[in-house]
């Protein structure tokens, strides 16, 4: 990191401002030297656009278009991409072709492994890219595992800290949803497939409004207990503020190690980047984002899109934080 250097002229007057200015210059330059010597921090970005971004779009895209989007994200250097959702097409029709999408991506990836692809305009090592998919129940998990051998590198379960939202989103209350998720994590652990856990409505609910952060922490802890390697804390309707974010994260830390925590912010009130900054200050090192700010939630009326990946990368670059594959 190249630090800012202060070269102000020392002032000399009867009030001693010259001495004060000199001390400030030394302090600022010492701080710049310390920052330059500090190891570059890394943040993992999980690109959720192909799943969370597209599931709420009014237009239905073809599997081929979705595959092209993911390929372009890989070429752009995205190492962690959530590509599909194995849910009932009755409830989320935009994800009805998830098996076809994952099969197509696996075929393309295997061509890269063998060196038979004609696509040579990228430096990204595709062998290191992680493709994930949502699997809310054991049927979804089974479908994901059948979508081309090795197509899905990671699966995700998605719960909530709100009883009403849980009923709307997965058709049952929190307790029953956790029982369902355990079947998924048990099956995934047996096959050696990593599981990511989502907790929705961590800072507000479209039905209950306020959410108890103790419940957020409890659900997060139980997901880790059943085998989730990472917990994504979702501000589903984008009502969070930096202060609320700090309070919530500190509550969750009592149940989950900080290095397992991710944040997932929607940008309804323009608070997403500020909330991410607050989370980073609390030690969180994983951020979900969506290309072009695509997204929303079928079960959260009024929720805007996710924070855009471009804006997150711009902010992190300005903070000298690496977003390379980790």
Query: 153: which DSSP letter?
Result: S
The tokens of 195 are what?
């599981």
pLDDT at residue 1 in the model: 40
**What is the C-alpha end-to-end distance of the chain, expressed in Å?**
19
Cα–Cα distance for residue pair 124/75, rounded to 1 Å: 6
Catalytic residue among 201, 205, 228, 297: 297
- Other C-beta atoms lying within 10 Å of the C-beta of residue 167: 17
pLDDT in tens, the chain (326 residues): 433 333 343 334 444 555 555 655 665 566 556 555 556 799 999 999 999 999 888 888 999 999 999 999 999 999 999 999 999 998 889 999 999 999 999 999 988 755 555 554 444 455 689 999 999 999 999 999 999 888 999 999 999 999 999 999 898 999 999 999 999 999 999 999 999 999 999 999 999 999 999 999 999 999 999 999 999 999 999 999 999 999 999 999 999 999 999 999 999 999 999 999 999 999 999 999 999 999 876 655 556 689 999 999 999 999 999 997 64
Q: Which is nearest to 132 in space by CA: 79, 90, 181?
A: 79
pLDDT at residue 197 in the model: 98
The tokens of 223 are what?
């997901």
pLDDT at residue 302 in the model: 57
Cα–Cα distance for residue pair 256/218, rounded to 1 Å: 9
8 labelled catalytic: no
| pLDDT tens column, 184-201 | 999 999 999 999 999 999
Rounded to 10 degrees, the C-alpha dihedral 224/222/294/280 comes to -60
Angle CA(161)–CA(167)–CA(171) in degrees, nearest 5? 125
Query: 58: which DSSP letter?
Result: S
pTM, whole model, 2 decimals? Answer: 0.84
Whether 56 and 95 have beta carbons less than 8 Å apart is answered as: no
The tokens of 62 are what?
């073809």
Cα–Cα distance for residue pair 250/81, rounded to 1 Å: 27
Cα–Cα distance for residue pair 276/107, rounded to 1 Å: 35
- Other C-beta atoms lying within 10 Å of the C-beta of residue 271: 22
- Give me the DSSP letters along 236-276: TTS---HHHHHHHHHHHTTTS-GGGEEEEEB-TTS-HHHHH
């Amino acid at each position: 990191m190249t630090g800012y250097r202060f070269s102000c002229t020392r002032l000399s007057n009867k009030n001693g401002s010259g001495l004060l200015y000199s001390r400030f210059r030394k302090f600022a330059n010492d701080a710049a030297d310390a920052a330059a010597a500090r190891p570059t921090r890394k943040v993992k970005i999980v690109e959720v656009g192909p799943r969370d971004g597209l599931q709420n779009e009014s237009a239905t895209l073809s599997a081929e278009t979705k595959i092209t989007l993911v390929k372009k994200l890989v070429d752009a250097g995205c190492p962690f991409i959530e590509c599909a959702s194995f849910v009932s097409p009755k409830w989320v029709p935009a994800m009805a072709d998830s098996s076809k999408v994952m099969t197509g991506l696996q075929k393309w990836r295997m061509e890269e492994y063998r060196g038979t692809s004609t696509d040579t305009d990228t430096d990204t090592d595709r062998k290191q890219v992680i493709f994930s998919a949502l699997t809310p129940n054991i049927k979804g998990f089974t479908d994901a595992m059948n979508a081309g051998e090795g197509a899905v590198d990671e699966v995700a379960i998605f719960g909530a800290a709100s009883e009403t939202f849980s009923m709307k989103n997965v058709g049952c209350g929190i307790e029953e949803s956790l029982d369902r998720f355990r079947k998924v994590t048990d099956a995934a652990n047996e096959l050696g497939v990593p599981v990511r856990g989502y907790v929705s409505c961590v800072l507000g609910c479209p039905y209950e409004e306020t959410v108890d952060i103790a419940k957020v922490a409890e659900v997060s802890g139980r997901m880790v207990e059943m085998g989730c390697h990472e917990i994504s804390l979702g501000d589903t309707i984008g009502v969070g503020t930096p202060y609320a974010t700090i309070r919530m994260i500190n509550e969750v830390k009592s149940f989950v190690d900080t290095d397992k925590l991710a944040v997932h912010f929607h940008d309804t009130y323009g608070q997403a980047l500020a909330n991410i900054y607050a989370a980073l200050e609390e030690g969180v090192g994983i951020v979900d984002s969506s290309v072009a700010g695509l997204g929303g939630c079928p079960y959260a009326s009024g929720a805007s899109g996710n924070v855009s990946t471009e804006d997150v990368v711009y902010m992190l670059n300005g903070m000298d934080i690496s977003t390379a594959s980790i």
